[in-house]
Copies of this chain bind each other. A is one copy, B any other.
Amino acid sequence: MRIRELADASGVSIATLKYYLRENLLHSGTLTAVNQADYDASHVKRVRLLRALMHLGRLSAADAQRVLAAVDDETIPIHDAFAIAQDAMVPARDRPPAAYRQALADVDSFVKRNGMRVRPNAAVREMLADAVVTLTEMGFAQQLGSPALSNLDGLVPATLALSASEVGTTPIEKSRSEQMEHTVIGTVAFEVVYDALRRMALEHASAERFGKQL
């Protein structure tokens, strides 16, 4: 298919496709003439993955590249590839480590207390610690609970159940690349779903508290 058809099939603009090609995020098509290339189903799949990562998930090109490397390396077992992709999805911090040492210790004991299988060096621990530092600075410490994020404990069982059901949908009968694609897009897109749901609930709560009476 031509680039216009690839744009239609994948739902992104030609300008965005050209950007992906320029950044080597998308493999080139087969050249059929000067300035004309042919694209196939592998391109459609890759563009959908890129779209989920960069648009829905707001990853930078460099971070998306790290996820793709884990998706593409067939020698990495799927759980390890998932871990690499997870780490790449956490934005780099600009905060000096000293500022969140206590928060990180709290996160570690939260994970341990709840028996969660999360790698000791997983980037998601720093992601949570970073938010905890901001919330503590802003006076939300009480909402997080003491000791060590204890107010989040009540959310763990439901979150684990939802996640197990999501991971349970991984199509293990399909190829490794399709399993990875499914896992990565599911991670990103369901995160947006839950975020949107909470933002709607916040708007509702704000309307109830501050809005005009209906």
Check A131–B192 contact: CB distance below 8 A: yes
The interface bits of chain A over 183-214 (1 if a CB of B lies within 8 angstroms of the residue's CB, else 0) are 10111011111111111111111111111101
Check B189–A117 contact: CB distance below 8 A: no
Picked from B130, B190, B200, the residue with its CB within 8 Å of the CB of A111 is B200
Is A41 interfacial (CB 8 A cutoff)? Answer: no
Is A55 interfacial (CB 8 A cutoff)? Answer: yes
Picked from B91, B143, B193, B211, the residue with its CB within 8 Å of the CB of A131 is B193
Picked from B118, B186, B201, B207, the residue with its CB within 8 Å of the CB of A156 is B201
Check A196–B134 contact: CB distance below 8 A: no
Using known A-B contacts A58-B58, A79-B207, determine if residue A198 contacts B189 with beta carbons closer than 8 Å: no
Q: Which residue of B lies closest to A214 (CB)?
A: B117
Using known A-B contacts A95-B11, A131-B56, determine if residue A203 contacts B118 with beta carbons closer than 8 Å: yes
Using known A-B contacts A134-B51, A206-B79, determine if residue A201 contacts B11 with beta carbons closer than 8 Å: no
Using known A-B contacts A79-B207, A143-B169, A160-B205, determine if residue A55 contacts B91 with beta carbons closer than 8 Å: yes
Please state the number of chain copies in the assembly. Answer: 2
Q: Which residue of B lies closest to A142 (CB)?
A: B169
Is A122 interfacial (CB 8 A cutoff)? Answer: yes
Using known A-B contacts A137-B48, A189-B135, A196-B127, determine if residue A116 contacts B55 with beta carbons closer than 8 Å: no
Picked from B95, B138, B182, B209, the residue with its CB within 8 Å of the CB of A167 is B209
The interface bits of chain A over 42-61 (1 if a CB of B lies within 8 angstroms of the residue's CB, else 0) are 00000010011001101000
Provide the main secondary structure of the chain A interface.
Answer: helix
Residue count of chain A within 8 Å CB distance of chain B: 91
Which residues of B have CB within 8 Å of A96?
11
Picked from B16, B58, B139, B202, the residue with its CB within 8 Å of the CB of A94 is B16
Q: List 19 A-B contacts (CB under 8 A).
A: A48-B137, A56-B130, A56-B131, A58-B58, A79-B212, A83-B203, A118-B203, A124-B199, A127-B195, A128-B193, A135-B189, A140-B190, A159-B197, A160-B204, A160-B205, A163-B204, A167-B205, A191-B198, A194-B198
